[in-house]
């Protein structure tokens, strides 16, 4: 399905070097920020106490944060959970204080503000569990990346696999760089968003690469230089890209605006990832194919090997 069709190819590869320099600068800034400032890990990873409380009327989050500050939790996460009457409080580990005692202190402080508050649940995440979650998330990211390279290597050609994984890891590092630079809370939902974006970005890269391969098979492009073949592939998929990413971004924006604090950073990570996913497929992955020396013979050789294997 297409809303429009661009008749004249857009010369993306002509400006590839400029955009890759911008990408490199952004990538270096993200890496430096990650190395120096690190990520502001949430309770899911560092360990701590999670409390869910409810009120008879909409809760005043600012007063609850002030109450947590009085108890020494200046970095406590306080956000609505489901409705404006339900509040989720995340507290870091406090040495010498058990989770049960801590919940009693918090509930007592909250009752001093509003006697209608009720404790619905309390959960404790130990530091060891948080460490295991962080290591598990890192391993998941690694294995997903290796799986992507292996699939693209078999499905297309090794140059496609290398360029795609570099472009997709570029997106992941940029997202992590944003969270490190601005010290936004990095939690399990954000990690899920990063993994989702990795797969989403791969899908966009595969669509462009598949069109590149089709162009090389087309006799009309037999004498066409590689940069122009790639330009045509990207231009031909522009309508599909706008429809797919536009619809996805509408849904993500609704979560970002109306989802409250619970979904805020999850939706924010998806928004950054979608924008950079389009960018990397066009200005990072595609130029890398050109600079790695992709030729028509590379794909015909792969097809001959596949045909011989079938025979």
Q: Summarize the confidence of residues 73-88 as an average pLDDT.
A: 81
When the pLDDT of each residue in the chain is averaged and rounded to a whole number, the result is 81
**pLDDT the model gives residue 130:** 61
Half-sphere exposure of 104 (CA within 13 A, CB side): 5
pLDDT number for residue 206: 81
Q: Which band of pLDDT confidence, cut at 50, 70 and 90, is reported for residue 311?
A: very low
Task: Return the closest-CA partner of residue 121 out of 173, 153, 82, 94.
Answer: 82
Question: pTM of the prediction?
Answer: 0.78
Are 122 and 51 in contact by the 8 Å Cβ rule? The answer is yes
**DSSP string computed for 178-240:** HHHHTT-EE-HHHHHHHHHHHHHHHHHHHHHHHHHHHHHHSGGGTTS-HHHHHHHHHHHTHHH
Percent of the chain exceeding pLDDT 90 equals: 10
- 59-73, 192-206, 226-240: which range is least confident on average? 192-206
Helix axes 238-258, 260-280, angle to 10 degrees: 160
Say if CB 174 and CB 27 are below 8 A apart.
yes
- Check whether 88 has a pLDDT greater than 90: no
Stated as kind and residue range, the H or E segment containing 119 is strand 118-125
Nearest to 50 by CA among 79, 82, 89, 83: 89
């Amino acid at each position: 399905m297409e809303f429009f069709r661009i008749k004249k190819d857009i010369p993306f590869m002509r400006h590839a070097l400029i955009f890759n320099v911008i990408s490199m600068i952004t990538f270096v800034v993200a890496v430096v920020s990650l190395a120096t400032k690190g990520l502001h890990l949430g309770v899911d990873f560092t360990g701590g106490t999670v409390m869910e409380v409810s009120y008879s009327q909409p809760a005043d989050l600012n007063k609850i944060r002030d109450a947590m500050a009085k108890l020494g939790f200046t970095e406590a996460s306080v956000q609505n959970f489901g409705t404006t009457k339900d509040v989720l409080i995340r507290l870091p580990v406090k040495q010498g204080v058990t989770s049960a005692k801590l919940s009693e202190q918090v509930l007592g402080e909250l009752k001093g503000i509003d006697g209608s508050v009720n404790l619905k649940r309390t959960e404790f995440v130990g530091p060891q569990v948080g460490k295991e979650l962080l290591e598990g998330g890192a391993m998941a990211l690694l294995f997903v990346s290796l799986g992507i390279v292996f699939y693209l290597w078999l499905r297309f050609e090794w140059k496609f696999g290398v360029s795609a994984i570099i472009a997709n890891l570029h997106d992941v590092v940029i997202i992590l760089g944003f969270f490190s630079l601005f010290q936004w809370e990095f939690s399990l939902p954000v990690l899920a968003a990063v993994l989702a974006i990795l797969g989403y970005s791969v899908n966009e890269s595969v669509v462009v690469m598949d069109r590149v391969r089709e162009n090389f098979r087309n006799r009309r492009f037999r004498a066409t230089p590689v940069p122009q073949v790639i330009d045509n592939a990207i231009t031909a998929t522009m309508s599909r890209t706008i429809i797919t990413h536009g619809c996805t971004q509408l849904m993500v924006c609704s979560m970002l605006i109306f989802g409250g604090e619970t979904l805020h950073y999850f939706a924010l990570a998806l928004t950054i990832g979608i924008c950079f996913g389009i960018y990397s497929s066009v200005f990072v992955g595609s130029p890398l194919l050109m600079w790695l020396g992709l030729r028509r013979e590379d794909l015909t050789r792969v097809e001959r090997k596949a045909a011989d294997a079938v025979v």
